[in-house]
């Protein structure tokens, strides 16, 4: 039975997904992965995201193991770092989480870094040439792999899991995960990702406008013409498909677009020509664009993080 959780509005059952890996060396990867999982309408569980409820009277690691036992999907990422050992059992915490999820019949989706697999293959090919000077441990201990037990962990995964996925970067991992999930669950992930990327492109333009405002405020001697940009194509695509019709975000994006046009028209006509009023107005426009851009970024990211895309598609 698929284990789910319900959102704050008690309207959408979300599939619980546990992300297991070492943390310190994969912070950026894990952060990007959480964002995608939220956008797909799933419920990612991770310690550093605050989604694991910690009982003060219990061990933090045991609470993480418990969370792994309650997930429907277990995403395992092997990077080459062993991590902390679990209670002197000669396995890592990640390894323990994997075994726990498997024992509780979670769907296991393991990712193994390509260079870790390459080292494992090299060892297998040259195992007959190992001796007291060229040991397995010496071959394994590199900048890529920091503990020989990782190879044993990989062997266990390859033996007991239904297909592992090699990866090198987050850009490489996300499409493979998307394809695997689409085979497992009835989720319109392809459509979700397309809209997700449009929203991300809007955020990039907003960030560019913030940087442009900072440049204008910093220089104040340059004649600027059309300074800020905001392409309507991405916004129009989303609005035409009803994604923002019942949401205040649509109204804010529309107001922002019109404000950018007004701000650019002012700069096109006046720039900074030395008149005190012109300079004052340029400062006001630059500060206003920056403030509005930051607020809009926050609202869009909130929509992405709470499964807004999936819930909107389902209403169509």
Separation between Cα atoms, residue 286 and residue 47, nearest integer Å: 39
pLDDT at residue number 237: 62
Structure tokens at 132: 């007291």
- What's the pLDDT score for residue 287? 92
64 and 48 Cβ atoms separated by less than 8 Å:
no
Closest CA relative to residue 199, chosen from 94, 91, 301, 64: 301
pTM above 0.75, yes or no: no
| 229/222 Cα distance (integer angstroms) | 18
Alpha helices, DSSP H, located in the chain: 27-39, 60-69, 93-103, 114-125, 136-140, 149-160, 170-184, 189-219, 232-240, 248-269, 276-305, 308-315
- Tokens of residue 159, six digits: 């033996």
DSSP 50-101: T-SPPPTTS-HHHHHHHHHHT-SEEEEEE-S----BSTTSSSBHHHHHHHHH
DSSP labels for 36-48? HHHHTT-EEE-TT
The reported pLDDT for the residue numbered 182 is 80
CB 80 within 8 A of CB 140: no
> What's the confidence (pLDDT) of residue 110?
95
Angle at 24 between CA 20 and CA 110, to 5 degrees: 25
Two tokens, residue 220 = 């104040």
Instruction: Kindly state the tokens that stand for 226.
Output: 């059309």
Q: Which residue has the tokens 């890592």?
A: 92
> Which residues partner with 4 through β-bridges?
15
- The residue assigned the tokens 């010496």 is 138
Token reading at 190: 């392809």
The length of the chain in residues reads 316
The tens place of each residue's pLDDT in the chain, 316 residues long, gives 455 444 444 333 578 899 999 988 888 888 888 888 877 878 888 766 555 655 565 678 888 899 999 999 999 999 989 999 998 899 999 999 999 999 999 999 999 999 999 888 887 877 776 665 555 566 566 667 888 889 899 999 998 866 899 999 888 998 899 888 887 776 667 777 777 777 888 888 899 889 888 888 876 655 555 578 776 556 666 656 555 544 677 778 878 888 888 888 887 776 655 566 677 888 888 899 999 999 989 888 877 765 566 665 555 5
Helix, strand, coil percentages for the chain (3-state, nearest 5): 55, 10, 35
Tell me how crowded residue 106 is: count the other CB atoms within 10 A of its CB: 23
Task: Quote the CA–CA distance of 260 and 249 in Å, as a whole number.
Answer: 16
Cα 245 from Cα 232, distance rounded (Å): 16
Q: What is the largest CA-CA distance in the chain?
A: 83
Token pair of 299 as six digits: 């609202």
């Amino acid at each position: 039975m698929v284990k789910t959780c319900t959102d704050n509005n008690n309207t959408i059952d979300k599939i619980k997904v546990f992300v297991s890996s070492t943390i310190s060396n994969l912070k950026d990867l894990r952060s990007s992965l959480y964002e995608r999982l939220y956008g797909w309408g799933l419920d990612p569980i991770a310690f550093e995201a605050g989604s694991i409820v910690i009982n003060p009277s219990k061990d933090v690691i045991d609470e993480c193991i418990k969370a792994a036992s309650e997930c429907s999907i277990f995403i395992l990422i092997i990077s080459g770092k062993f991590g902390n050992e679990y209670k002197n059992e000669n396995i890592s915490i990640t390894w323990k989480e994997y075994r726990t999820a498997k024992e509780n019949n979670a769907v296991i989706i393991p990712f193994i870094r390509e260079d870790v697999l390459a080292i494992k293959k090299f060892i297998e090919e040259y195992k007959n040439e190992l001796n007291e000077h060229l040991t397995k441990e010496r071959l394994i201990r590199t900048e890529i792999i920091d503990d020989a037990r990782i190879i044993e962990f990989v062997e266990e995964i390859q033996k007991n899991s239904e297909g592992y996925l090699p990866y090198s970067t987050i850009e490489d991992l996300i499409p493979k995960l998307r394809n695997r999930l689409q085979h497992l669950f009835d989720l319109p992930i392809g459509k979700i990702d397309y809209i997700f990327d449009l929203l991300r492109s809007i955020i990039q333009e907003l960030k560019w406008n913030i940087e442009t405002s900072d440049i204008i405020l910093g220089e104040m001697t340059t004649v600027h013409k059309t300074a800020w940009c905001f392409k309507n194509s991405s916004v129009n695509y989303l609005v035409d498909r009803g994604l923002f019709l019942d949401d205040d975000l649509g109204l804010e994006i529309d107001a922002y677009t019109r404000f950018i046009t007004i701000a650019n028209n002012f700069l096109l006509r006046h720039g900074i020509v030395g008149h005190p009023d012109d300079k004052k107005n340029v400062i006001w426009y630059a500060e206003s664009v920056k403030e509005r851009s930051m607020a809009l970024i926050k609202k869009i990211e909130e929509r992405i993080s709470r499964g807004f895309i999936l819930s909107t598609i389902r209403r169509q």
